[in-house]
């Protein structure tokens, strides 16, 4: 990690202010404050559901009703969640011209709900269902009811348009994400350790292309001693609010950043 003086938040804000073409990579950690548990960890989804039994394409094709036990919980939890201050803070940074895109591994749609306009959904989203037999698409709200398994008009069980283990990343999302990583001046990594392939390649691509890597995670990750230039420890909301206040101190804005993201 590069030494950055006594105030790493101010240094991170300086990167954003000087380069003004930051890209953000987010993971489950940014949505924890919205009440969505991460997949890993003591209270994570994988403690309750073995991902090899519930979260692979093979499992869905073999036992779709069983997989929908987990998916029902995911759809319910994400449907009840609202964007938190971190989501709104990133949208504010985009509006001010400091952030140009968000690449998210999350499928909850909270970045868009929080106001972000340029969002690359690396793993898809839960707001759409797809038939893996006839490839017809439906809005989730039109086909899913709690306690029921959603069906296609062809009679097959629908799958959320999310990437399960064993499925490739949608080619357009991967292409756009890698292009953003290659051309950004700053990569903010928020709420993810970027361990899952191929998302783990994004920080490395950005670093090799000359970007500064600013990591926002409460603990050290595999990125911290490898590609990270500045590691800001704390919750995503707390740290992003501080960054927003720093970049706003030199901006003529109609209202304070804190009032915009609460």
The counts of H helices and E strands in the chain are 12, 9
Confidence (pLDDT) at 4: 45
Confidence (pLDDT) at 17: 93
Catalytic residues: 123
- Cα torsion 194, 197, 199, 202: sign: positive
CATH number corresponding to 1-35+83-123+169-262: 3.40.50.1220
Q: How far apart are CA 205 and CA 207, in angstroms?
A: 5
Confidence (pLDDT) at 250: 64
The encoded tokens of residue 148 equal 């029921």
The encoded tokens of residue 28 equal 């489950």
Intervals of CATH 3.30.1600.10 along the chain: 37-80+126-162
The verdict on domain 37-80+126-162 having CATH code 3.90.190.20 is: no
pLDDT tens figures, 53-81: 999 999 999 999 999 999 999 999 999 99
Confidence (pLDDT) at 256: 46
Q: Give the residue among 182, 179, 130, 190 at the shortest CA–CA distance from 156.
A: 130
Neighbour order of strands in the sheet with 137-139: 137-139, 124-130, 159-162
Confidence (pLDDT) at 187: 98
> Are 97 and 20 spatial neighbours (Cβ–Cβ below 8 Å)?
yes
Average pLDDT over all residues of the chain = 91
φ and ψ of 107, to 5 deg: -120, 15
**Mean pLDDT across 147-175:** 95
Intervals of CATH 3.40.50.1220 along the chain: 1-35+83-123+169-262
Per-residue pLDDT for 194 more than 90? Answer: no
Q: How far apart are CA 77 and CA 144, in angstroms?
A: 14
Which residues face 129 on adjacent strands? 138, 160
pLDDT tens figures, 92-145: 999 999 999 999 999 999 999 999 999 999 999 999 999 999 999 999 999 988
């Amino acid at each position: 990690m590069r030494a950055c003086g006594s105030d790493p938040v101010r240094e991170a804000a300086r990167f954003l202010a000087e380069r003004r073409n930051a890209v953000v990579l987010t993971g489950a950690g940014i949505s924890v404050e919205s009440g969505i548990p991460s997949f890993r960890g003591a209270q994570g989804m994988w403690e309750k559901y073995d991902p090899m039994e519930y979260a692979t394409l093979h499992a869905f094709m073999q036992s779709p009703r069983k997989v929908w036990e987990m998916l029902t919980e995911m759809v319910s939890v994400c449907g009840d969640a609202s964007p938190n201050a971190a989501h709104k803070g990133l949208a504010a940074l985009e509006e001010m011209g400091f952030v140009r895109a968000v690449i998210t591994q999350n499928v909850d749609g909270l970045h868009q709900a929080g106001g972000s306009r340029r969002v690359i959904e690396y793993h898809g989203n839960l707001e759409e269902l797809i038939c893996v037999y006839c490839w017809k698409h439906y809005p989730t709200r039109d086909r899913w009811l709690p306690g029921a398994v959603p069906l296609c008009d062809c009679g097959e069980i629908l799958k959320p348009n999310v990437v399960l283990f064993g499925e490739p990343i949608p080619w357009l999302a991967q292409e756009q994400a890698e292009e953003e990583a290659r051309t950004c001046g700053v990569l903010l990594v928020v709420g993810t350790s970027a361990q899952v392939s191929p998302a783990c390649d994004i920080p490395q691509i950005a670093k090799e292309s000359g970007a500064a890597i600013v990591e926002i995670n409460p603990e050290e990750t595999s990125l911290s001693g490898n590609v990270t230039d500045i590691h800001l420890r704390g919750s995503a909301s707390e740290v992003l609010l501080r960054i927003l206040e720093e970049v706003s101190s030199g901006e003529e804005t109609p209202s304070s950043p804190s009032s915009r993201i609460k």
